[in-house]
Structure 1
Amino acid sequence: MKKILTSLVCLSASFVVSPSFGQAPESISIVVFGAPSLGAFLPPVIKAQKLDEKNGLAIKFEERTPDAYTAQFNSGEFQVGGSAALLTVGLADVRGVKVAYLFNLFDFWGAVVTSRPEVKTLKDLEGKEVAAAKGTTNYVMFDWFARQLGADTGKFSVVNTATPGLVGYAMADRAAAIHLWEPAYTTLVAKKPGIRTIDIGIGDSWKKFTGSTNIPYLGVAAHVGWIEKNGKLIPKLYAAYKEAAEWVSANPEQAAKLISPKGTPDDQKAIADLIVHKERLGMNVQWASDVRKEIQSVYSAGKAISFLPSDPSAATIFEAAK
């Protein structure tokens, strides 16, 4: 009887020191771009590895096209966005939508590809059709880089399409050039290795403009009202994404199968190679407040091409508790 009582006391104590035992995970609905996109890169890993559950969350990822994403996030239909392009966050703030960039997931990288022999530089695209997802921050950043190389982007005839359609445009050679980024770029090159990539001078132009090579680009953002009510969930959300990024880096082949489940073995190998070589992927999970200076430089670039009419509030950069 004494042993039984001792066991019951120990069991009771375990409930006291483990307050999270038996608690239901906190639900979060997060809107993201559909695949192929960077916003859809880590969510399947988070769910397959149950990293949300591990951190006390139950995340539901909802996929949308770029235009629908922006409309539904800015309206508050979704309070948290996992394809939060930094300039889009800044523009929302300038327009009176109170949102903040919680943490960065990927640094900027973009590319312009062509199958047309007469297209050798970005200036050669003036007066020609360029297929692009014009509503994305990646295109806005490309616009800035193109101007640094002397191209008049106002003379591009932009064919606007959703991100999943860009690979199809390139495969069918339906435009003089196609602007896209990872993981679509890697998927395209695996399918059409002869396609040419036009240099847009990312490293040189950014270093000249800022003195840095770090370009915060896409991450997780939330409405300020949601942040004020759910601050305790933000470190858990960060941990889930951080652990997903670390798992992807350590398990590129397994990750590729989760990220591109319907892809061919060649498609999946290309994604695995992208993870291994990592330069174009730019996976860089950091608190927004740790890259504050770089974020402000991105805002400056947005103002330089009149995408941002004024400086976004300092409150758009979430201050993580240390």
Structure 2
Amino acid sequence: MKKKLWGLIALLSLFMMLFASFGNSSSTQAASKTETIKIGYMGSVNSVGLAAIAKQAGYYEKQGLKVKLVEFADGPSVIAAMKSGSIDIGEIGPGAHTQVAQGNAKIVMFDGLSTSDKIIANKKSGISSIKDLKGKKVAVVVGTTSQVILDAALKKAGMTESDVKVVSMSVNSIVNAMVSGKIDAAATWAPGTTKIKEKLGKNAVTLATDNDFTDSMPFTCSWIVTPSYAKKHKATILKFDKAMLQAMNYRESGGKNAAKWIAKQLGFSESDVKKQITSTEKIYTSKQLVKLINNGNLLQYYTKQQKNFIKLGILKDTGKLETAKDYVMTDMIKKAAAAIE
């Protein structure tokens, strides 16, 4: 009788252990289905656009990603945050790609070509052309597209930064400085450019835009990760790319909720966002992006950009710079595109 009793107890214990093991396994599997990542962006429509759409449309969630969006002032700040580990993935504008060439980041997704940047002067300062900037105070956000477009415009006019008084400022300070007259001109991007024009009215003079240099100097915008993250988290990057490509297709097709979702993330008016979606960036579909990869044009955009950085003196050719082929994860993008077709 005792043997039967002990046998029954042993059997019950075994069942309990198996049940507990099954329960823990199920919990672990459920937890592993959702991965939390932090994504950095700059406070502009073309920077956060894809991420805001992917989040609100549920594209991240469908890939098992729980996303927290974190705003930064500029691209270099995004890269610094990635290096510190406070974010996993970030969006950068053209200027910060100098860091990519130096091996500090890998590009996991092409966003588009920026058409957002402008050099705007105050007519009251006696400025009507780039040459009139000689000896004037011009604000830039150092290490960003802001400095790139200024240098490109000056070079075209036969000038350099030494011909003007370059004032290093944060992107958030430039608008007030222009309106108050503390500076004569500024190189910056939307929404700052829009605000300057609104405040200065007829005294705002646009001297140059990145559209002036599209053929010779593509202003690429990209989503990046650190090299170590790229090596350790390929599965996560693939999920991210799938969600972003779906958002890309939605945005390019004029998805009815795109402006609303972006406006919600930035705290902008929906009407302003609608104007900026197509006016601040040349956008693509996933199929168009794959075509750019296959015909070699995508890597050519990045190669041209890097060569121009060197010509402008923004990037020093040490002989150890990475090439576009090294830092653009084209195979991952194509794999993600094939998965969503």
TM over 0.5: yes
Identical-residue share of aligned pairs (%): 17
Gaps of 5+ in 2: 1-28, 335-341
User: Which one-letter code corresponds to 2:314 in the other structure?
Assistant: F
Q: 1:304 aligns with which of 311, 331, 338?
A: 311
Q: Could you tell me how far apart the structure 2 residues matched to 1:298 and 1:247 are?
A: 28
Q: 1:112 aligns with which of 89, 96, 119?
A: 119
Q: State the number of aligned residues.
A: 290
Q: Could you tell me how far apart the structure 2 residues matched to 1:165 and 1:259 are?
A: 23
Q: CA deviation at 1:301?
A: 0.2
Q: CA deviation at 1:21?
A: 8.4
What is the 5 A alignment of 1:225-236?
225-236=228-239
Q: What SS class does the counterpart of residue 46 from structure 1 fall into?
A: helix
Q: Is the 8 A contact 2:138 2:186 kept in 1?
A: yes
Partner of 2:258: 255
Partner of 2:8: none
Partner of 1:3: none
Q: Could you tell me how far apart the structure 1 residues matched to 2:65 and 2:95 are?
A: 28
Partner of 1:281: 281
Q: 1:62 aligns with which of 60, 70, 73?
A: 70
Partner of 2:249: 246
Partner of 1:319: 330
Which is helix-richer, 1 or 2? 2
Partner of 2:35: 26
What is the 5 A alignment of 1:1-322?
24-33=33-42, 35-36=43-44, 38-66=46-74, 67-73=76-82, 75-78=83-86, 80-94=88-102, 97-109=103-115, 110-117=117-124, 118-189=126-197, 193-200=201-208, 202-203=210-211, 205-207=213-215, 209=216, 215-251=218-254, 254-261=257-264, 267-275=269-277, 278-284=278-284, 286=289, 289=293, 291-310=298-317, 312-314=321-323, 315-321=326-332, 322=334
Q: CA deviation at 1:27?
A: 2.2
Scaled by the length of structure 2, the TM-score of the pair is: 0.72
Scaled by the length of structure 1, the TM-score of the pair is: 0.76
User: Which one-letter code corresponds to 2:315 in the other structure?
Assistant: L
Q: CA deviation at 1:134?
A: 2.0
Change (3 A) 1:71 1:125: same
Q: What SS class does the counterpart of residue 28 from structure 1 fall into?
A: strand
Change (3 A) 1:146 1:200: farther
Query: Considering only CA atoms, is the larger Rg found in Structure 1 or Structure 2?
Result: 2
Q: CA deviation at 1:85?
A: 3.6
Q: Could you tell me how far apart the structure 1 residues matched to 2:227 and 2:310 are?
A: 23
Q: CA deviation at 1:136?
A: 1.4
Change (3 A) 1:40 1:279: closer
Q: Is the 8 A contact 1:104 1:216 kept in 2?
A: no
User: Which one-letter code corresponds to 1:269 in the other structure?
Assistant: S
